[in-house]
């Protein structure tokens, strides 16, 4: 602490432990969930469930049995709307705040949320702001959220039509990736986590890229073991980026995990979120990989290899909205959300990212024209 | 980091530096504000002003001159309603979010808020949640906020009729206590910071208590130097409690700075916030000091000395709403907001606090009957 008569600078730190659990049966007696709660000892527990999970009857049956067995549960699980609608207004946030108030949950209580990324974001925002923060256990229900956003430390909702305009950085108490949640995903949701896994592999782990390549047929054919293995690697890479990357709350300019994301975010917005985030990321990766070639960073053969992999997993690598004149404003909007200087990632090779601080519209236009 | 195949526990820390600046002229060229901004280098600056400050014309003139001189200022300062009304609904929060959106402020921009505690809380909540957190410089405008809440790390608004139901822990970029803001305070606002100063002195610093006693006539007579000296001590004690107390984000049960506050919060609620927080705290202190005597912790002579000091500074030490049958529910509501076990502070002597975990209603009823 530096201190003069008229000036005090007092440093302090806050510690967190980011906890990730991998399982195929969260609700087993004495299993991961019971074990986490035995440490947390919450006074009350509110369970919030994405309505997209309600088609997974075996999972719901296990949940209900667990609720009957476990003390401190408030009423029935609160079912909320899933998908981007969960965070496009404050309805889900408000319904959770109301349940917290109605059930007199306090900071020593706990919320368990089971759902896709948007539901985790909205429910997480309510949990982080009620009484200045209740502990939340996230159970991501989609391949996308299990491999990527669910293991992050962000939450929030869209406002003024802008993605994640309102939110906070706040680590969840724990994240449980339960592979039994993946069984009921439709085709688009099933593959959705793989484009994010490819993204993080391109930046951080060539062996994961090779694993996805080697297992592409199994992955396309819904082999659960192949999928779980990829999502676990992806989740661990994301988690370690947060805990060991030196910038968990993104105070610096770089956003090294946002490769391909300026285009993905804009495409989601232009399609009114009818495209899945996973598909949008696949297209965003295709664009930024092609830009990397055109800017002289990347060999064309490597770019072809990446786009072929996306293609072989069933991802689209092009979209009619890419020629919308508004599409290129996504670069500036991406800069604005973080603020400061534009910082985008390009690739020099697999596991060889490089930063750029401007991206000419003309380069992107040419790339889009050449996408198949 | 502990890591098995199915379980990762990865610790990480976030660092903050809590910065407090004491001045009587924030807007001097090259002064404290310019100096803070020279380090922060915000791209844009939004200034938000409590309408209670608008009566302080000399201060406003300095602010306007500074705005004209300084780059990156957005439009005119945004004037918001002051007092508890600022946080009784989301109107102020929303008006700040709208200004952030309208002016395209990003995480590299900055908000300067000049106002009383409620305005700091509401504007702070908007700043902490927009784009997951913009830096905010607080300039507390009341004796209460300069000595107490303004130097804290909390923000929030009331919801479901409950104080601070929604909010976050988030340290401001810096706090500037400018004594020229105190000149225009009315009598109630002037004394308001002194009950919080007495509170923190009773818990942490006997010499501050003696200083307030020795200067009580000067303080009652609006001597600015006497007031500034007390508020500075009070602010430093509050700040050090946060940065050196081991629990900046209040994860533990104890709330050592909330002495006398269960009663103060309930009284504010029962009077619909027509009583000032400072006056409510004075009454809350009188009650908890008398409880400390009745529970056998404190000498009656010390209690008399404390209540006499509050009285000599012009504070009320009793209120008709204390006999409202609802008043005693304040103990349970205080427990609920933090959650877990009830933890209240009592006094064994000045600078000798002690914790209790239950407080019989009958004890409080007797104490209230005996208050003069």
What residues have CB less than 8 Å from A21, skipping those under 6 apart? A32, A36, A174, A175, A176, A177, B6, B7
Position B1 scores a pLDDT of 60
- Residue B248 CA to residue B29 CA, distance in Å, equals 34
Q: Is the CA virtual torsion B361, B363, B369, B372 positive or negative?
A: negative
Q: Cα-atom radius of gyration of chain B, to the nearest Å?
A: 21
Low-confidence ranges of chain B (pLDDT < 50): none
What residues does A148 pair with on adjacent strands? none
**Closest-CA residue of chain A to B107:** A339
- Cβ-defined contact of A18 to B9 (cutoff 8 Å): yes
Nearest to A18 among B12, B160, B168 (CB): B12
Query: Does residue A52 carry a pLDDT above 70?
Result: yes
Tokens representing B232 are: 């500075």
- A297 Cα to chain B: minimum distance (Å): 29
Query: Does residue A337 carry a pLDDT above 80?
Result: no
- Look at strands A136-140 and A174-178 and give their pairing: parallel
Angle at B250 between CA B249 and CA B253, to 5 degrees: 165
Strands (E), chain A: 2-4, 7-23, 45-50, 78-80, 110-115, 136-140, 157-159, 162-166, 174-178, 344-349, 352-356
Mutation pick from B1, B36, B104, B129 vs chain A, by most beta carbons of A within 10 Å, is: B129
What residues have CB less than 8 Å from A170, skipping those under 6 apart? A124, A128, A133, A153, A154, A155, B168
Identify the residue whose tokens are 């786009």. A307
Nearest to B243 among A10, A17, A170 (CB): A10
> What mean pLDDT comes out for the span A80-106?
96
- 3-class secondary structure, A74: coil
- Residue B157 CA to residue B96 CA, distance in Å, equals 13
Q: Give chain A positions within 8 Å (CB) of B11.
A: 15-18, 243
Tokens representing A316 are: 């689209």
> What mean pLDDT comes out for the span A15-29?
96
Position B3 scores a pLDDT of 61
Mutation pick from B34, B128, B132 vs chain A, by most beta carbons of A within 10 Å, is: B132
Q: What is the ipTM of this complex?
A: 0.94
Nearest to B336 among A106, A133, A239 (CB): A106
- Residue B110 CA to residue B127 CA, distance in Å, equals 9
- Cβ-defined contact of B12 to A156 (cutoff 8 Å): no
Query: Does residue A335 carry a pLDDT above 90?
Result: no
- Cβ-defined contact of B15 to A11 (cutoff 8 Å): yes
Query: Does residue A245 carry a pLDDT above 90?
Result: no
**Closest-CA residue of chain A to B19:** A9
Identify the residue whose tokens are 């910038």. A247
pTM of the entire structure?
0.94
Position A33 scores a pLDDT of 97
Find, among A305, A119, A347, A281, the residue nearest to A212 by Cα.
Answer: A305
- Residue A257 CA to residue A285 CA, distance in Å, equals 12
Position B162 scores a pLDDT of 86
Nearest to A131 among B5, B98, B165 (CB): B165
- Cβ-defined contact of A250 to B11 (cutoff 8 Å): no
- B292 Cα to chain A: minimum distance (Å): 27
Q: Give chain B positions within 8 Å (CB) of A6.
A: 21-23, 32
* Contact by Cβ (8 Å): A87, A268: no
Q: Which of the four pLDDT bands, split at 50, 70 and 90, describes residue A3?
A: low
**Closest-CA residue of chain B to A240:** B10
- Residue A37 CA to residue A39 CA, distance in Å, equals 5
* Contact by Cβ (8 Å): A180, A58: yes
Position A126 scores a pLDDT of 98
Position A217 scores a pLDDT of 98
Domains of chain B: 20-185 (3.40.50.1970), 188-370 (1.20.1090.10)
Position A255 scores a pLDDT of 72
Position A334 scores a pLDDT of 86
Query: Does residue A1 carry a pLDDT above 70?
Result: no
Tokens representing A252 are: 């610096």
Q: What DSSP assignment string belongs to A231-296?
A: HHHHHHHHHHHHHHSS-TT--SS--TT-TTHHHHHHHHHHTTT-S-HHHHHHHHHHHHHHHHHHTT
- Residue B16 CA to residue A11 CA, distance in Å, equals 6
Tokens representing A10 are: 């007092």
**Closest-CA residue of chain B to A164:** B131
What residues does B122 pair with on adjacent strands? none
Query: Does residue A4 carry a pLDDT above 80?
Result: no
- Cβ-defined contact of B97 to A156 (cutoff 8 Å): no
Position A250 scores a pLDDT of 85
* Contact by Cβ (8 Å): B179, B147: no
Nearest to A133 among B130, B160, B168 (CB): B168
CA trace torsion B60, B64, B70, B74 (10° rounding): 100
- Cβ-defined contact of B132 to A169 (cutoff 8 Å): yes
How many contacts (CB atoms, under 8 Å) link A and B?
202
pLDDT, mean over chain A: 94
Query: Phi and psi at residue B362, in whole multiples of 5°?
Result: -65, -40
What residues does A175 pair with on adjacent strands? A20, A138
- Cβ-defined contact of B23 to A6 (cutoff 8 Å): yes
- Cβ-defined contact of B13 to A13 (cutoff 8 Å): yes
What residues does B15 pair with on adjacent strands? A13
pLDDT one-digit tens code per residue, A131-190: 999 999 999 999 999 999 999 999 999 999 888 999 999 999 999 999 999 988 999 999
pLDDT one-digit tens code per residue, B158-207: 999 888 999 999 999 999 999 999 988 999 999 999 999 999 999 999 99
- Residue B231 CA to residue B253 CA, distance in Å, equals 27
Identify the residue whose tokens are 């007579």. B221
**Closest-CA residue of chain A to B245:** A12
- Residue B207 CA to residue B216 CA, distance in Å, equals 14
- Cβ-defined contact of B1 to A169 (cutoff 8 Å): no
- Cβ-defined contact of A12 to B244 (cutoff 8 Å): yes
**Closest-CA residue of chain A to B127:** A166
3-class DSSP string for chain B = CEEECCEEEEEEEEEEEEEEEEECCCCCCCCHHHHHHHHHCCCCEEEEEEHHHHHCHHHHHHHHHHHHHCCCECCCCEEECCCHHHCCCCHHHHHHHHHHHHCCCCCCCEEEEEECHHHHHHHHHHHHHECCCCCEEEEECCHHHHHCHHHCCECCEEECCEEEEECCECCCCEEEEEHHHHHHCCHHHHHHHHHHHHHHHHHHCHHHHHHHHHCHHHHHCCCHHHHHHHHHHHHHHHHHHHHHCCCCCCCCCCCCCCCCHHHHHHHHHHCCCCCCHHHHHHHHHHHHHHHHHHCCCCCHHHHHHHHHHHHHCCCCCCCHHHHCCCCCHHHHHHHHHHCCCCCEEEEEECCEEEEECCCCHHHHHHHHHHCC
- 3-class secondary structure, A28: coil
Q: Give chain B positions within 8 Å (CB) of A239.
A: 8, 10
């Amino acid at each position: 602490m530096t201190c003069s008569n008229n000036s005090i600078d007092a440093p302090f730190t806050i510690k967190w432990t980011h906890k990730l659990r991998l399982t195929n049966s969260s609700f087993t007696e004495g299993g991961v969930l019971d074990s986490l709660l035995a440490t947390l000892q919450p006074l009350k527990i509110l369970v919030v469930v994405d309505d997209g999970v309600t088609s997974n009857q075996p999972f719901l049956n296990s949940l209900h049995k667990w609720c009957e067995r476990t003390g401190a549960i408030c009423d029935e699980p609160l079912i909320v709307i899933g998908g981007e609608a969960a965070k496009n207004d404050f309805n889900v946030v408000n319904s959770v705040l109301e349940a917290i108030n109605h059930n007199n949950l306090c900071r020593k209580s706990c919320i368990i949320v089971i759902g896709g990324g948007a539901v985790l974001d909205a429910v997480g925002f309510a949990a982080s702001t009620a009484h200045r923060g209740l502990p939340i256990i996230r159970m991501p229900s989609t391949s996308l959220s299990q491999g990527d956003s669910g293991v992050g430390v962000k939450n929030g909702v869209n406002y003024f039509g802008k993605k994640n305009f309102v939110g906070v950085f706040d680590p969840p108490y724990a994240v449980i990736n339960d592979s039994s949640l993946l069984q009921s995903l439709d085709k688009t949701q099933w593959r959705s986590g793989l484009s994010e896994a490819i993204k993080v592999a391109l930046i951080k782990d060539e062996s994961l890229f090779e694993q996805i390549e080697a297992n592409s047929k199994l992955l396309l054919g819904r082999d659960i073991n192949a999928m779980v293995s990829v999502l676990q690697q992806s989740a661990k890479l994301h988690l370690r980026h947060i805990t060991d990357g030196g910038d968990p709350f993104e105070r610096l300019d770089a956003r090294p995990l946002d490769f391909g994301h300026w285009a993905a975010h804009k495409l989601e917005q232009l399609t009114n979120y009818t495209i899945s985030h996973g598909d949008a990321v696949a297209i965003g990766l295709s664009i930024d990989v092609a830009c990397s070639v055109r800017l002289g960073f990347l060999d064309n053969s490597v770019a072809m290899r990446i786009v072929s992999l996306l293609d072989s997993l069933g991802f689209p690598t092009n979209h009619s909205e890419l020629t919308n004149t508004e599409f290129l404003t996504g670069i500036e909007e991406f800069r604005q959300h973080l603020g400061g200087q534009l910082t985008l990632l390009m690739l020099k090779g697999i596991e060889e990212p490089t930063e750029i601080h401007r991206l000419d519209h003309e380069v992107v236009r040419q790339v889009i024209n050449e996408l198949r």
